[in-house]
Amino acid sequence: MQSRQIGRSGLSVAPLCLGGNVFGWTADEATSFAILDRFVDSGLNFVDTADVYSRWAPGHQGGESETVIGRWFKASGHRDRIVLATKVGMDLGPAGKGLSGAHIERAVEASLRRLGTDRIDLYQSHTDDAATPIEETLAAYERLIKAGKVRAIGASNYSAARLRAALDTAKREGLPRYECLQPDYSLAERAGYESELEPLCRRQGLGVIGYFSLAAGFLTGKYRSEEAAEGRARGGNVQKYLNPRGFALLGVLDAVAAEHGATPAQVALAWLIARPGVTAPIASATSLAQLDELIGAVSLTLNPAAIDRLTAASAGGIRA
């Protein structure tokens, strides 16, 4: 399995990232442990989470995912086999939000404690904070890097203008720069990333680890009607794809999957893995069967004609 570098960070990762948002939420601790064990045993090594996961769930406060991962590290002894990414900045209620130096330094200690580790390999700004000077944010990260608590930093949900400003500030002030971007990117959501962010990331040599790689499950093919989406944890997120353009894309996915002896989800991930500039798409699993399907995408090589058909079918995204 060929590894890929995250920007110029020196971090080497497999071409698929396991999303930890489901740990402690739709995957209980025992299931999460089993998924993480299988993931590592398959030769993969990149896990992404955030301090806010899964605050949206009733009775949760945030930190649930990090806590499960930390307990798995302790039980398995596999911390050194994982490139660990987490994020800071989303609203944690009484625990604060944003990218001020003070909040980052409080939040990283809480994340390290929950994760049961002494370092975070990739620490990401989960969302932009226009109220905090970029210099303050990057200086806080610099202190964490010098202290050995963080190895590299990244950005998530940034506009091209703000990402460019952060990169320019880092260069001008001699501060650490963001080494990767985590955008919403899939066959179903292309324009937001490809229009301005992709050229910037490729020009600057940033890694790209897109989230919602399966468009909240739409690209698995399991949501082909509003009835199918009702009552599911992410069903509301796929409603925007239930239109003629979305169904046409599913039709091409189905055809390519049949030609390659694969599933639509594997094809959707393989298309991303083959995209120039993409380091590793992020995908989540709530069962071993789902995980095995995701892992199968890593060894799936789409022929050029299939890639072209998928690219054409999804050109510009599929939303009206």
Instruction: Give the residue numbers marked as catalytic.
Output: 53
3: helix, strand or coil: coil
The candidate with the shortest Cα–Cα distance to 222, out of 250, 243, 245, is 250
Taking every pair of C-alpha atoms in the chain, what is the biggest distance, in angstroms? 54
Q: Which residues contact 273 (CB under 8 A, 6 or more apart)?
A: 15, 16, 280, 281, 297, 298
d(CA 148, CA 123): 12
Burial of 269-297, coded b for 16+ CB within 10 Å and e otherwise, reads: bbbbbbbebbbbbbbbbbeeebbebbbbb
Positive or negative torsion for Cα 253, 259, 263, 269: negative
Amino acid in the structure at residue 130 = A
Q: Where are the alpha helices (H) located in the chain, listed in sequence order? A: 29-41, 64-76, 101-115, 134-146, 160-173, 191-194, 197-204, 226-229, 235-238, 244-260, 264-273, 288-296, 304-313
DSSP string computed for 225-237:
SHHHHTTSTTHHH
- Would you put residue 279 in left (φ > 0), alpha (ψ -120 to 50) or beta? alpha
